[in-house]
Structure 1
């Protein structure tokens, strides 16, 4: 008899592992297929800055022992100014966090298979997915298949559920450093902070960051999209590694800093409007959709929320007497995604694209504007509230808005 489960999940990242946790806790037979070997997991996929907030940890029962440091403030930097806001957060040890999710899922009853790269869907006579092929010629069958493999998306792509566009791909690199001066007199105090810097000299078309992990240690990285601003300001032949190295060489906060051996993380994600997220017998979650926060690149909380929305949807279907798995019943996932995972997605994507297309001098003005307005204006703008977004715009932004509108019209 072939292996058969209620649900097969491809990928043991935060989204896939959380979906398995939720479903196993409800008593369903779940198998998770992970590409990496168990002894190395998650060496290849240990790519996240892992900055998150207490709301994620409490909502998903994440223990304190996977936290590298707790932070008190979020700092935004421009080339010549900064803005700081009280916002408690946490920087996770991403590898330990992923291992916790796997072990907790196993305790709840989920099965894990490592060295199990998923390659393609298995379809029934009607063309509906009924399982997946993995590890060469191995097959597992399930009533519902969940793709949580991120941008690789082998199942979602084969089913034409997602279309991740190369021009919307963000790439990033991060070092873990020691000897960082987190309270340099020329900058904001980053001793217990997560800092994001908008500066095209450092990250053309994107942003850079410093996340404090201890008294003189931090995660430091850059990320950008190859958008119009990147094309205008990028140095010919410069790699993303070169941009990070250049920042470390120029910024006095890193004058005495040293890289921790083996602590280099690389990753990519797509920042774009999601299309379909489901089909008959199939759901796509996490960065497969994509689900990453468009403004600040935070993917853990969004991915975990998408996993829970998928688990809710599957549970709703399986509690019916006939256990429907057709696209009409699984459409609940799309509804939950837009209501609970990423509400006002279009407005937030608009703000994101305008932010990363703005010139450096506009970032200095933004810092001054934020200091002169109410403390919650940035939070409301970040949620996609149009009135708050409008308060951050100037007449000088009209050419940028017009350029953005022309680009959107041309691509429509």
Structure 2
């Protein structure tokens, strides 16, 4: 049985960032992922503000493209755009980001195991943890560790998900295609983040077109699940989106999809003994803007600080400290606006279902027309609702139609 200090299960941005940070500090760490290749299932268009890219100290090799413009198609089938003379952010190549983080872990002395699915973790009498894994060939391995981190995202494969009636899980689904396009087609979407909104386009969700490297575009749809309503298939929504954007006849290089499951009040269990949940497993995703990489990496930084501070502490003392400090510091790091964004995200997307909601959305977009591209970034990435004044709040909150 292999042994390590910290075992991280899940090599997404949260898990790999944590493993990288711990390895940098000289902590023995093993990073395990069920994927045999980190280029598989790369479902994330990964738009990131420029300030966050710099703050997270990411390398140029993970950049797919740069953007300086927001472009929105509203329910009235009218395109609106907000441009900045300078770069506002980047679209990351998600597969490259995951691979770079994993490579960093190995270069810093950590170990990476791919193609192993976690089966479960148990507490041992000496206070450590034993986690078992199986690969595609049916082979089994066990790893003993002082801490186990569940960074498996929405599946919460190890920490589980207790029923919390006061804060039920909000679920969303999406699919995304990587397209090979001509230079003329690519230029039509280059340098901008494009979103398509309205109940006739994607009821209870939205569509998007993001530029990647020259000649490549990502196009996708996502929506929140609503058990009270019959919802069209994602494939039919994607087909409609391709028609609207004039991209129906282009070559498709890759098709992938994903699920997001998050609690609006973020009341997920953060720890059970020496098993700790991280990233989307504690609902860090931004439901309003539909992105989660920044918050995933931030949660990793918070947990790394806590674990490094507690090195050498007695088992019971360390567990109590993590239980208290991790959740507290994470809330402080992400801020009250992050929590509010979850409620607004649920209300906004579930409410986008009929002509009445379309009219409300068009009025909101009209309010936003006088805003700057920087203001839109502040709203969708940093939840700076007050920049739009009191007139916008009734539309954001669904109080005015």
TM bucket (normalised to shorter chain) is: 0.7 to 0.9
- Tell me if the contact between 1:68 and 1:213 (Cα under 8 Å) persists in the aligned partners: yes
Q: Deviations over 1:113-145 (max 9, x none)?
A: 22221111112359x772312126422121111
CA-based RMSD of the aligned residues comes to: 3.2
The unaligned stretches of length 5 or more in structure 2 are none
2-structure distance, mates of 1:193, 1:384? 20
Partner residue in 2 for 1:325: 318
Give a deviation string over 1:229-252, Cα, whole Å, max 9, x none: x827x4xxx310111012212x15
How many correspondences in the alignment? 384
Shift in CA distance, 167/241, structure 1 to aligned 2, threshold 3 Å: farther
325-334 vs 97-106, which moves further: 325-334
Deviation at 1:197, TM superposition (A): 2.3
Specify the alignment match of 2:90 in structure 1: 90
Contact 2:30–2:110 under 8 Å retained in 1: yes
Q: Decide whether aligned partners of structure 1 residues 341 and 85 sit closer, same or farther in structure 2, where only a CA change above 3 A counts.
A: farther
Cα gap change, 1:152 to 1:113, in 2 (>3 Å):
same
Deviations 1:50-109 (A, max 9, x none): 222333332333211222211112233312332425362212222122111111111111
- Higher mean Cα deviation, 95-104 or 318-327? 318-327
Whether 2:261 is the aligned partner of 1:270: answer yes
Aligned match of 1:353 in 342, 346, 353? Answer: 346
CA distance 1:392–1:265, change in 2 (3 Å):
farther
The Cα offsets for residues 208-237 of structure 1, whole Å up to 9 and x where unpaired, read as 111122555321100001238x827x4xxx
> Take 1:107 and 1:125, find their aligned partners in 2: how far apart are those partners?
33
Matches within 5 A, 1:18-167: 18-37=17-36, 40-43=37-40, 45-80=41-76, 81=78, 82-86=80-84, 88-125=88-125, 130-135=129-134, 137-157=140-160, 160=162
Q: How does 1:373-384 map to 2 (within 5 A)?
A: 373=371, 378-379=376-377, 381-382=379-380, 383-384=382-383
Match in the other structure for 2:206: 207
What is the rounded CA distance, in whole Å, between the counterparts of 2:312 and 2:336 in structure 1?
Answer: 27
Gapped regions of structure 1 (runs ≥ 5): 404-412
Instruction: Answer yes or no: is 1:258 the counterpart of 2:261.
Output: no
Shift of 1:279: 3.0
Decide which moves more: 7-16 or 65-74.
65-74
- CA contact under 8 A between 2:88 and 2:374: conserved in structure 1? no
Asked whether the equivalents of residues 174 and 221 of structure 1 are also in contact (C-alpha less than 8 Å), the reply is: yes
Farther off after superposition, 23-32 or 48-57 = 48-57
Identify the range of structure 1 (346-355 vs 318-327) with the bigger mean alpha-carbon deviation. 318-327
- Looking at structure 1, the residues matched to 313 and 61 of structure 2 have their Cα atoms a distance apart, in angstroms, of 39
TM-score by length of structure 2 reads 0.84
Within 5 Å, give how 1:4-15 maps onto structure 2: 4-15=3-14
Q: Once structures 1 and 2 are overlaid, which stretch shifts more, 285-294 or 24-33?
A: 285-294
What does residue 370 of structure 2 align with? 372
What are the superposed Cα offsets for residues 349-391 of structure 1, whole Å, 9 maximum, x if unpaired?
A: 2221232214112222111101235766545554445645772
TM-score (norm 1): 0.82
Q: Is the 8 A contact 2:186 2:216 kept in 1?
A: no
Counterpart of 2:101 in 1: which secondary structure? helix
Q: Counterpart of 2:318 in 1: which secondary structure?
A: coil
Runs ≥4 in structure 1, deviation > 6 angstroms?
Answer: 394-398
Whole-Å Cα distance in 1 between the matches of residues 82 and 391 of structure 2? 16
Task: Give secondary structure in 2 for the equivalent of 1:372.
Answer: coil
